Amino acid sequence: MNNLELWQAALGEIELSISKANFSTWFKNTTILSRENGKVIIGVPNGFAKEWLENKYNTYIFRALRNFQEDIREINCVIYNLDQAPHNNEAKQNDLTPQGGGIKSVENPYAYTPQSAVVAQATYVQKAYENNINHRYTFENFIIGENNELARAACYAVSQNLGKVYNPLFIYGGVGLGKTHLLQSIGNEVLENDPAKKIKYITSERFANELIDSIRNQTVNDFKSAYSAIDLLIIDDVQFLAGKEKTQIEFFHIFNTLYQINKQIVISSDRPPKAIATLEDRLRSRFEGGMIADIGQPDLETRMAILKTKAAEKNFYLDEEAIRFIAENVKNNIRELEGALNRIVAACEFNNKLPTLKFVQQALSEIISAGKKKGVQAQNIIDTVSQYFNIPIKELIEKGRKKEISYARQIAMYIMRTELNSSYPGIGSQFGGRDHTTAMHAYEKVSKDIEASEKVKEDVALITEKLYSV
């Protein structure tokens, strides 16, 4: 850690222990001027700050610095000129020194000695190992589209201002749409700004396993205290907590501890808190208390942008047509998109051919036809819808006009139309020989509702996903 980082880290701690007004009054424009043999010289802008830091806040400063550098033994304050320190040149420092000349011997506060650089690097790597943050995922290489704008903006805001803007931040979206990427980006961004921050990225599954282990080894208290010292806790795929009651209770306590001391919590799930069955109410309401942002499916342009970036990462050239073809045919999920690209890269290398549109079509014919168009039939859709809404197939097909049933039926019709491109009379006949206008009405109604209602959109998305995951 260099002096600047050390002071930033220490200020972060001090800020928590004193009031905001005091913090901004006394710590504004302070910096570490030098650090040698456990003796730290802090530069302060005026005599009042010097008196105050030396007499009232010395224990806070001492404690905070000791947290990061255990060998610190002595702290002194010196008044220094802000405009002199960072960018001073020799000439400016030598003439006219109204501060009484005591500072001249002090080294450049921003000097970054190679030694400290190595130390910082080492701790950084070690930290990354502990906090499960993967360096590959950053905000820079996250592609922004209409579908993920909000989520990305929320994540970025959180990374710049831990615990202050949106806490907790809840990100949800389907499989392979970039939740994990965003969560990891927060971690990386925070570490880049301040490597001293304590960050933990963990999937809810691993969280549960760790908890179970700690129960078995009777170290539950250690487990809890380890978590309450964290600055940023990222829990991925929180929906897996559903049904695990003891884990939920423990998580609830850790959540509360962190939340109360303004530590940032970021959670992801594949569906909104409301839709996670068997999630304790108190957890659900807490999740809903912060900011909820969703990641939708990427539109064509975004998919194309993603493909271009990924291809560039692999140093693989794909022409516009081929990219468009892939993006048009692989719609649901970014991971699949990447899979398709990998497949093409491999096929090209294997056959030693250029990825022309025709070659790409050939190479992907298997996935495209196998995935959606062929594998799913009208009956699958009816089955899935019936399972999803927990309504017997018979009722779906029969003439019942109860609201829940007709809603489910309309959704099923809509999905048949969009996914299978079935004709309206065809859809009608699947549902006990209904008129084609009924099917048309259902399609139009659901199309409209999807725009208006988050719930309808959610239902359709989840059913579609279920459909293809079988």
Partner 1 sequence: MKVTCTQENFKKAIYSTERVVGKQITLPILENILIETDNGMLKISATNLEIGVFLKIGAKIEQEGTITVPARLLSNFVNNFPASSTVSLTVIDQTLHIESGSSKAQIKGLMAHDFPIIPEIAGSFLFSLPAQEMKEAIPRLIACVSLDSTRPELTGLNVVLVKDEVRIAATDSFRLAESVVTLKKENQSVYDLFLEKTSSIIVPQNTFSEVFRVIGPDTQDIRIGIEESQIFFQIDNVRIVSRLINGRYPEYRQIIPQQFATKVVLEKNDVLRAVKIAGIFTNSKAGEIQFSVDCEQKVLKVQSKAEEVGENQTIISANIEGPEQSALFNPRYMVDGLQTITTPRLALLMNSNSSPAVLRMVQGENNEEISSFTYIIMPIKN
Q: Applying CB under 8 A, which residues contact partner 1?
A: 21-22, 24-25, 46-48, 50-52, 55-56, 78-84, 95-102
User: What's at 34, amino acid-wise?
Assistant: S
d(CA 457, CA 323): 27
Tokens of 45: 């802008």
Residue 64 C-beta: closest distance to partner 1, Å: 20
Residue 403 C-beta: closest distance to partner 1, Å: 57
The CA-atom distances, in angstroms, between 208 and each of 225, 288, 446 are 16, 22, 39
Starting from the edge strand earliest in sequence, which strands make up the sheet with 31-36, in order?
A: 31-36, 39-44, 74-79
Closest CA to 10 of 194, 189, 136: 194
CB proximity list for 165: less than 8 A, separation 6 or greater? 157, 158, 291
Question: CB burial class (10 A; 0-12, 13-18, 19+) of residue 343?
Answer: middle
Residue 50 C-beta: closest distance to partner 1, Å: 7
Residue 110 C-beta: closest distance to partner 1, Å: 18
The beta-strand segments (E) located in 8-136 are: 31-36, 39-44, 74-79
Pairing of strands 74-79, 39-44: parallel
d(CA 231, CA 343): 40
How far is the first Cα of the chain from the last one, in angstroms, to the nearest whole number?
51
Residue 18 C-beta: closest distance to partner 1, Å: 11
Residue 157 C-beta: closest distance to partner 1, Å: 25
Residue with tokens 């806790």: 233
Q: Are 459 and 411 in contact (CB under 8 A)?
A: yes
Residue 46 C-beta: closest distance to partner 1, Å: 5
d(CA 253, CA 92): 56
